[in-house]
């Protein structure tokens, strides 16, 4: 076997060039690659910090929304309780008003009945007075003569000064 010289194989030249390239430019390339990786790490950290901030903000918004929902539920329950109380109060007021209206109607009916009774009594009295006047007229016509009529008129005229004197006093 015959050994070829070291530099005759192109693979050795590539390996030597690669080593020389990294010896000359390795530190610079390493700095650039490290700077790129550091920049990427900083960007990832910034994104994580932003994500954390957004998460905390979302949790705060969720807590606020939960508080507002609970507050709205409590307010709705209070409004509902107030509405029930108001409905009960209005029902009692309506019942009281209905009772008062019924009492007013009853009182008005009693007043109408009393007025009708008074009108009926007045009508009966008026009819009785007319019947009595007619009966008295018949009796007077039948029993009173012209001489008795003159004596009755004279007697009435004689009593006029006494009657007028009592009225003036």
Please determine, for residue 36, whether its predicted confidence score (pLDDT) is greater than 70.
yes
Q: How far is CA 161 from CA 44, 60, 150, 157, 158, in A?
A: 136, 113, 19, 8, 7
Mean pLDDT value across residues 97-123 = 92
Q: Give the angle subtended at the CA of 159 by the CAs of 153 and 165, to the nearest 5°.
A: 145
114 in Cβ contact with 122 (< 8 Å): no
C-alpha 165/C-alpha 8 separation (Å) is: 179
Mean of the per-residue pLDDT values of the chain: 88
Higher per-residue confidence, 109 vs 26:
109
By mean pLDDT, which of 1-10, 24-33, 35-44, 120-129 is the weakest? 1-10
pLDDT at 61: 96
Please determine, for residue 163, whether its predicted confidence score (pLDDT) is greater than 70.
yes
pLDDT at 3: 65
Confidence of residue 5 (pLDDT cuts 50, 70, 90): confident
pLDDT at 48: 96
7 in Cβ contact with 13 (< 8 Å): yes
Please determine, for residue 105, whether its predicted confidence score (pLDDT) is greater than 80.
yes
Q: What is the pLDDT of residues 83-95, one digit of tens each?
A: 999 999 999 999 9
Q: What is the pLDDT of residues 37-52, one digit of tens each?
A: 999 999 999 999 999 9
pTM (2 d.p.): 0.40
Tokens 């029993």 belong to 143
C-alpha 104/C-alpha 111 separation (Å) is: 10
Mean pLDDT value across residues 48-59 = 96
C-alpha 60/C-alpha 51 separation (Å) is: 14
Q: Give the angle subtended at the CA of 38 by the CAs of 33 and 40, to the nearest 5°.
A: 95
The dihedrals phi and psi of 96, each to the nearest 5 degrees, come to -60, -40
């Amino acid at each position: 076997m015959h050994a070829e010289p070291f530099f005759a194989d192109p693979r050795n030249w590539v390996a030597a060039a690669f080593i020389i390239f990294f010896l000359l430019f390795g530190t610079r390339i390493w700095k650039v690659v490290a700077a790129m990786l550091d920049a990427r790490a900083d960007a990832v950290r910034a994104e994580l910090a932003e994500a954390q901030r957004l998460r905390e903000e979302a949790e705060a918004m969720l807590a606020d929304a939960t508080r507002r929902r609970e507050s709205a539920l409590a307010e709705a329950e209070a409004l509902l309780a107030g509405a029930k109380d108001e409905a009960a109060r209005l029902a009692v007021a309506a019942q009281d008003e209905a009772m008062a209206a019924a009492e007013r109607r009853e009182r008005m009916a009693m007043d109408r009945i009393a007025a009708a009774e008074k009108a009926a009594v007045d009508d009966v009295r008026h009819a009785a007075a007319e019947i009595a006047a007619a009966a008295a007229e018949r009796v007077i016509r039948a029993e009173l003569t012209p001489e008795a009529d003159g004596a009755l008129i004279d007697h009435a005229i004689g009593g006029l000064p006494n009657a007028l004197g009592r009225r003036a006093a």
